């Protein structure tokens, strides 16, 4: 079938188009305009043609944007798309439009601009909501960041200030004991032991808090790090404990990763001392290995200790959450939480597998170099 399309049809296509359509001369004067546009803004065609320029119809903010962004782009690039303008109707009502424009040239080389406008009154209110929400989110994030920094500073000060009086008390207590100032009575001895136990708990607690505070300076995660060395540094740090308990390590070759040295040493030493703390009657064996997963290394630290009830596999990483009482296993509940923070700061994940009395395996991922 041959479709005939003559100038009357084009005329209809132009004037009844579901968008505003106009043509401006090189100076921005309106030289052609369709019915849709005139109806939307309530103008008579003769009010616009050769009398008004496009920017006369813009709100003041729009005029400024037109002069500083829209026109330079249209002049230099020959087209501008998806610009948001508010136009003023004949009754001075503001109507939002999405505007596209192209530069064309007449046969005698004159520059003209073709402009289409789409009504976006519904979309704009949605967009404004989005902008508002984005602004709110940004200011919340900023506030949170400040709060976090404050909190880090606070932890830092508190832990450092608490450390020395606790040490002093412990020292004084020892002196008193050496000099025989303490009572040898049964009930007194029980109480003295409780005092000492509590002091030690406090010391462990403070040390862990210090470790946990990833300091503000530790923001460098791009260093190339040999995990074999990290593993050995961590073992050296725990030297006495390892010797005392005769821990058997088997360390398989480990990869080079990207990260932060002191944090990764802390990660391994926390995991090792966790294994040591929760060892069973069996001689403790710790095995470290890794698997390559695309651009990530999944490191496994496996022990044959007391393990844990799989039900608690998430809970063990929570802040100050502990599965055991202080009397059985002293600790602060910060060690594994700290591991989680370190791994996550490296962009990785940490998780654990365990069964009661069957040992535990800690998995974590780090970015490969």
Partner 1 sequence: MTTKTKNNVKITGKPEHPTIMFAHGYGCDQSMWRFVVPSFTDGFQVITFDHVGSGNSDQSAYDFEKYDSLDGYAGDVIEILEENGLDQVIFIGHSVSAMIGALVAIKRPELIKKLVMIGPSPCYINKEDYYGGFEEKDIEEMISTLEDNYLGWSSYITPVIIGRPDKPEFSEELNNSFCSIRPDIAKHFAKVTFTSDNRNDLSKIKVPTLIIQTEPDVIAPEKVGEYVYHQISGSVFTKIQTAGHCPHLTAPELTIEEIKKFLNYGG
Please report, as ranges, the residues that interact with partner 1 according to CB under 8 A. 26-28, 53, 55, 59-65, 67-69, 71-73, 75-79, 81-86, 96, 103, 105, 109, 111, 124, 127-128, 131
Q: How far is the CB of 50 from partner 1 (least distance, A)?
A: 14
Q: What angle do CA 20, 26, 27 make, to 5 degrees?
A: 90
In the complex, least distance from residue 131 CB atom to partner 1, rounded to whole angstroms: 6
- Going by the DSSP 8-state scheme, the letter that residue 4 receives in this structure is P
| Closest CB 143 distance from partner 1, rounded Å | 18
Q: How far is the CB of 278 from partner 1 (least distance, A)?
A: 48
Rounded to a whole number of angstroms, the minimum distance from the CB of residue 28 to partner 1 is 6
- Which CB sits closer to partner 1, 28 or 367? 28
Q: How far is the CB of 86 from partner 1 (least distance, A)?
A: 7
Nearest CB to partner 1, comparing residues 103 and 262: 103
* Cβ-based nearer residue to partner 1, 135 or 143: 135
Contacts of 62 (CB under 8 A, 6+ apart): 55, 85, 86, 87
Residue (63 or 313) nearer to partner 1, CB: 63
Closest approach, Cβ 230 to partner 1, in A, equals: 32
C-alpha span between 225 and 112 (Å, rounded): 62
CA 301 – CA 350 distance, rounded (Å): 11
Q: Compute the distance between CA of residue 250 and CA of residue 314 in angstroms, rounded to an integer.
A: 27
For the residues of 202-254, what is the DSSP string, one character each? HHHHHHHHHHHS--TT-----EEEEHHHHHHHHHHHTHHHHHHHTPEEEE---
* Residue of 19, 23, 10 lying closest to 114 (CA atoms): 23
- Cα–Cα distance between 150 and 125 in angstroms, integer? 37
Residues 103-133 as b/e (b if ≥16 CB within 10 A, e otherwise) read beeeeeeeeebebbbebbeeebeeeeeeeee
Q: Which one, 177 or 219, has the nearer CB to partner 1? A: 219
How many Å separate Cα 148 from the centre of its chain? Answer: 13
Q: Please list, in sequence order, all residues whose beta carbon lies within 8 angstroms of the beta carbon of residue 210, skipping any fewer than 6 positions away.
A: 159, 160, 163
Give the pair of three-digit tokens for residue 56: 């006369």
Nearer to partner 1, 19 or 182 (CB): 19
DSSP lists the bridge partners of residue 100 as: 116
User: Which of 127/357 has CB closer to partner 1?
Assistant: 127
**Closest approach of partner 1 to the CB of residue 78, in Å:** 3
């Amino acid at each position: 079938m041959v479709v005939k399309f003559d100038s009357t049809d084009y005329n209809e296509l132009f004037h009844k188009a579901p968008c505003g359509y106009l043509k401006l001369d090189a100076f921005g004067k309106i030289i052609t305009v369709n019915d849709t546009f005139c109806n939307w803004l309530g103008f008579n065609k003769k009010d616009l043609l050769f009398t008004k320029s496009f920017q006369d119809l813009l709100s003041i903010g729009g005029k400024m944007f037109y002069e500083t962004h829209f026109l330079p782009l249209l002049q230099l690039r020959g087209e501008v798309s998806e610009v948001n303008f508010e136009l003023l109707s004949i009754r001075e009502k503001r109507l939002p439009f999405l505007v596209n424009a192209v530069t064309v040239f007449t046969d005698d080389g004159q520059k003209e601009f073709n402009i289409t406008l789409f009504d976006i009154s519904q979309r704009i209110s949605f967009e404004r909501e989005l902008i508002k929400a984005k602004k709110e989110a940004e200011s919340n994030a900023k506030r949170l960041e400040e709060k976090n920094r404050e909190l880090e500073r606070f932890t830092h000060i508190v832990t450092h200030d608490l450390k020395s009086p606790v040490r002093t008390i412990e020292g004084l207590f020892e002196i008193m004991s050496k000099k025989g100032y303490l009572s040898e009575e049964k009930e007194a001895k029980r109480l003295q032991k409780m005092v000492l136990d509590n002091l030690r708990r406090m010391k462990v607690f403070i040390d862990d808090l210090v470790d946990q505070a990833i300091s503000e300076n530790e923001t460098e995660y791009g260093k190339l790090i040999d995990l074999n060395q990290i593993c050995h540094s961590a073992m050296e740090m725990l030297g006495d404990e390892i010797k005392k308990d005769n821990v058997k390590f088997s360390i398989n070759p480990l990869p080079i990763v990207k990260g932060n040295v002191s944090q990764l040493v802390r990660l391994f030493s926390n995991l090792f001392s966790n294994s040591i703390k929760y060892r069973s009657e069996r001689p403790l064996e710790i095995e470290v290995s890794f698997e390559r997963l695309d651009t990530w290394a999944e490191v496994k630290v496996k022990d044959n200790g007391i393990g844990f009830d799989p039900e608690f596999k998430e809970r063990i990483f929570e802040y100050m959450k502990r599965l055991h009482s202080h009397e059985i296993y002293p600790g602060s509940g910060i060690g594994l939480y700290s591991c989680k923070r370190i791994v996550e700061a490296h962009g990785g994940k940490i998780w654990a597998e365990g069964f009661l009395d069957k040992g535990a395996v800690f998995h974590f991922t780090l970015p490969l170099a």
